[in-house]
Amino acid sequence: MDRNWVLALEQQTNLTISAGDVSALANAVRRGADLRLYMDAGTYEETLYFQQTYAGDGDAFAGLMSHHHSYMHRGQDIEQPYISIFKYDTSGAYSHVKWMMGNETLDESKAYPYGVYRWFVCDRWRLVYEHDAAGNRMRGDLEELKELVRRGRTVQVGIQQLFGLAEGTVDGPSHISFVTTMQPLIEDGHVLSNCDLVVVGAPRWPFSWADGLHVAMIRPSTSGEILCFLAEPGKLPFTRMIERRGMQWSVAEKA
């Protein structure tokens, strides 16, 4: 485990690999490693911090930005901010939906020839407890997880088969999506957590937002239950659902 930010993969404009290895990067994301992407666009440079990750079989992985706050629209200043929802992978194309004021949405997905793509990971998470969708222990120690919550440790939840939540299905490619938490709780013998805003895509790989996109407010539990409110961008109100999934609960070994 490397608890520092390290360059895991570098791709040139034509997507050839100049450093690192895709499989090793996908494996790190599958372990729950934090993910960032640096890109050189010529007139500007940017590094994306992903609030959520997706890891499937083999080399399948993606970084998701669930609530990017944008201040310009198509190169022009705007009077009101809006939320952008992004998905990046190694294909050279990204999925981008803008959720504007007035409940309007725009799909601005496209391929863009950045000068370089540098993928960084911070493999700082230790798996403490894993359970199946029924809440049965698979590995780890629930009591240790509770004690770490009491000590103020940072918790992350990896949800199996998250994509498909809106449809109430676990069909589709095997995958896990790691989400950030903001409020872990101990209640009725279980650990629960109020999570950051979560993105739920279509149960397929590769996927784009055109295949289906929901944003969700969720509260997963070590019982296997997930209380969630889901909505398609631009199509409020939210729908309340209760689903069950297998999950991995990890703690950060570095702040």
Domain that holds residue 50: 5-122
Q: What is the pLDDT of residues 189-248, one digit of tens each?
A: 999 999 999 999 999 999 999 999 999 999 999 999 999 999 999 999 999 999 999 999
Report the 10 Å Cβ neighbour count for 114: 21
Residue 254 above 90 pLDDT? Answer: no
Instruction: Answer yes or no: do 165 and 237 share one domain.
Output: yes
Report the 10 Å Cβ neighbour count for 25: 22
Q: Record the pTM.
A: 0.95
Instruction: Answer yes or no: do 94 and 131 share one domain.
Output: no
As a whole number of Å, the end-to-end CA separation of the chain is 14
36 in Cβ contact with 128 (< 8 Å)? no
Instruction: Answer yes or no: do 20 and 89 share one domain.
Output: yes
Buried b (16+ CB within 10 A) or exposed e, 31-62: bbbbbbbbbeeeeeeeebebbbbbbbeeebbb
Q: What is the pLDDT of residues 72-85, one digit of tens each?
A: 888 888 888 899 99
Instruction: Answer yes or no: do 137 and 105 share one domain.
Output: no
Instruction: Answer yes or no: do 176 and 217 share one domain.
Output: yes
